[in-house]
Structure 1
Amino acid sequence: MKETLKYYGPAILWALFILILCCVPFGDVSGPSLFFPGFDKLVHCGLFFVLSILYCYGSIRKWQTRSIRIEIAMKNTIVLISYGALIEMLQKYVFTWRSGDWNDLLADAIGGCMGIFGVLLISNAINHEKS
């Protein structure tokens, strides 16, 4: 457990932050009182983008590599999408003042995949430049 916190501590803290934000009653967050239509989806995408970068950073540190391997990226994608699905299920069945939404899960998955793709792209570019 201590080793997990050593590598994935920032990602775990960000995941807890996401959980708190997604389970606090904000009223109708998808209503017209927000900045623009779809703002909620943009927030979901951004939160999971940051989470995926932190999670990949922990994986790179744990496996002591200069880039993330494709199998680790696939595992990270599955973990991130599962976490997004867990949050949506909690919103639907436990935190009844919020509503679980498939579109939120899609935004979570897109944000997570964007972050993982960015880490793959940047780490491969850095490693190509060094060689």
Structure 2
Amino acid sequence: MKLTLKYYGPAILWALFILIICAIPFGDVGSSSLFFPGFDKLVHCGLFFVLSVLYCYGSIRKWQTRSIRIEIAMKNTIVLVSYGAFIEMLQRYIFTWRSGDWNDLLADSIGACMGIFAVLITSNAINYENN
């Protein structure tokens, strides 16, 4: 177990950062004139994009491959979307000062899929270049 977690260290730290950010009450910050209406969704998408890249990096290191296999990418997608759903459930039922939103979960899922797709494309391009 400890050996497995060492590969996912950066992803675990980023996931904890996401959890903390999603638990903090922001009050009226979202209604500030500094932010546009979809800014919250863009933040969710970006946070999960980074999380998925770090998680895929851990998977590549764990399985000692040069690219991510499709079955690992599917597993990673399920784990990341489940984590997004977990955070939204926490916001809905535990962090009552925040609101769990289906649109936030959709933004989390899109960010996770974008990150996994980016890793697939990048790793395949690097492997193609090296061959």
TM-score by length of 2: 0.96
Instruction: Report the more deviating stretch, 3-12 or 60-69.
Output: 3-12
Cα offsets for 1:73-99 (capped at 9, x unmatched): 000000000000000000000010000
2:63 aligned residue = 63
SS of structure 2 residue aligned to 1:95? coil
Written as runs of structure 1 = structure 2, the 5 A alignment for 1:16-55 is 16-28=16-28, 30-55=30-55
1:101 aligned residue = 101
Cα offsets for 1:28-63 (capped at 9, x unmatched): 454354411100000000000000000000000000
**Structure 2 gaps, min length 5:** none
- Equivalent residues, number: 131
**Structure 1 gaps, min length 5:** none
Structure 1: which 4+ aligned runs deviate by more than 4 Å? none
Preserved CA contact (<8 Å) 1:45 1:108: yes
Letter in 2 for 1:76: N
What is the CA–CA distance in structure 2 between the aligned matches of 1:106 and 1:29, rounded to whole Å?
22
Cα shift at 1:3:
1.1
What is the CA–CA distance in structure 2 between the aligned matches of 1:50 and 1:32, rounded to whole Å?
26
What is the CA–CA distance in structure 2 between the aligned matches of 1:18 and 1:110, rounded to whole Å?
16
Question: How large is the Cα RMSD of the aligned pairs?
Answer: 1.1
